């Protein structure tokens, strides 16, 4: 890595020369600290991409198989993400975890999951679904804590919640019809 300084007229221009070790690498950002207070970059390199391709390969068979593969991809992604962040996030949001580096609420979890889903979509690894905006449920007056999830839409039009918040990092996410997911969460119930 080097830094060159060039003078053009009265203006100095700094140019950074970076060694690129993996032309296929892609940087994504991970959220933590509740409400995405902290952002940490993570590089998806060739080896990680190949692993995601292998995980997603069985998903070509059907929408159901693809959702099963997505669950495995989320587990793998979360394991690598928490290694990158340097903190292993536990299940659910711990009380007092706001502004604690590495701890994740449902906003962090749903954004990180959507980051993965968008990566899979961009690289042609989703064949039966498209990534949608995250969804929310609950507002206290209905005795449900506000909660968010990532969402996939099947080509049939059905929307699916991909919710990794209830398990520790690397645990199996809940993947269920979004309409069903929206009815859940009374008194903190899954």
48-107 pLDDT, tens digit each: 999 999 999 999 999 999 999 999 999 999 999 999 988 777 788 777 778 888 889 999
Confidence bin at 21 (pLDDT 50/70/90): low
Whole-model pTM: value is 0.85
E-strand stretches of 77-128: none
* Residue 13 pLDDT exceeds 70: no
DSSP3 helix / strand / coil % (the chain, rounded to 5): 35, 30, 40
Buried b (16+ CB within 10 A) or exposed e, 61-95: eebebbbebbbbbbbbbbebbbeebebebeebbee
Q: Are 46 and 113 a contacting pair, CB within 8 Å?
A: no
Long-range CB contact pairs, 131-138, < 8 A, 24+: 132/159, 134/110, 135/159, 135/161, 135/178, 135/181, 135/182, 137/181, 137/182, 137/184, 137/185, 138/185
Encoded tokens for 80: 């690598």
d(CA 173, CA 112): 12
């Amino acid at each position: 890595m080097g830094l060159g300084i060039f003078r053009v007229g009265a203006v100095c221009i700094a140019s950074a020369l970076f060694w690129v070790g993996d032309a296929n690498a892609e940087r994504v950002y991970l959220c933590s600290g509740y409400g995405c207070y902290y952002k940490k970059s993570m590089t998806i390199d060739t080896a990680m991409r190949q692993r995601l391709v292998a995980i997603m390969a069985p998903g070509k068979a059907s929408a159901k198989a693809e959702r099963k593969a997505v669950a495995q991809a989320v587990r793998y992604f979360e394991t690598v993400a928490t290694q990158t962040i340097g903190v292993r996030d536990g299940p659910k949001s711990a009380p007092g975890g706001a502004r604690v580096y590495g701890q994740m609420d449902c906003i962090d979890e749903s954004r990180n999951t959507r980051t993965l889903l968008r990566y899979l979509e961009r690289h042609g690894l989703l064949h039966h679904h498209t990534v949608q905006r995250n969804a929310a449920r609950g507002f206290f007056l209905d005795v449900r804590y506000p909660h968010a999830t990532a969402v996939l839409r099947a080509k049939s039009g059905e929307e699916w919640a991909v919710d990794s918040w209830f398990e520790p990092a690397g645990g199996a996410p809940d993947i269920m019809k979004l309409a069903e997911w929206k009815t859940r969460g009374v008194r903190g119930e899954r």
